[in-house]
Amino acid sequence: MIRNVVVGRLRPEVSPDQIEPALQALREMTIEGVDLRLVCGVDLGLREGTASFAITVDFADADAYRRYEADPGHNHIRGELMKPLLERTERVVFELPDA
C-alpha cells in the first residue's frame, strides 16, 4: 500500500475557509478503477507554526498513485482551485508496512 501525504501553507491573505471548497472537491473525487482512501482538513490552530492543511491518500499500489496524479479532475482541483491560494506545499509518498 502507498500513502501520499501533502501539507500546505496558505498565502497570508487567504483564510482557512477559502481552501475548504478545494478540499471538499478532493473528498468527492472519484477515479475509475482507483480506490481512493482520502482524508483531508484544515489545521485546528492548536499549535503555532503548523501547516494550514493536510491531505492523506492511500492507494493499493504505485500504479493507482500514478493514475491519481495523471487524472484530469485531480489536476484541475490542484491547479485551478488550490494553487492560487497556496504559499507552498510539500509532499511525501511512501510504502506502508504490511499490517
What is the set of domains in the chain, with CATH numbers?
2-95 (3.30.70.100)
pLDDT band at 98 (very low <50, low <70, confident <90, very high): confident
Q: Which spans in 1-99 are helix H? A: 20-28, 62-70, 72-76
Predicted TM-score (pTM) of this structure: 0.92
Residue 12 CB neighbours (<10 A): 6
State yes or no: pLDDT of 99 exceeds 90.
no
Q: Mind listing the pLDDT tens digit for each residue in 20-50?
A: 999 999 999 999 999 999 999 999 999 999 9
15, HSE (Cβ side, Cα atoms, 13 Å) = 2
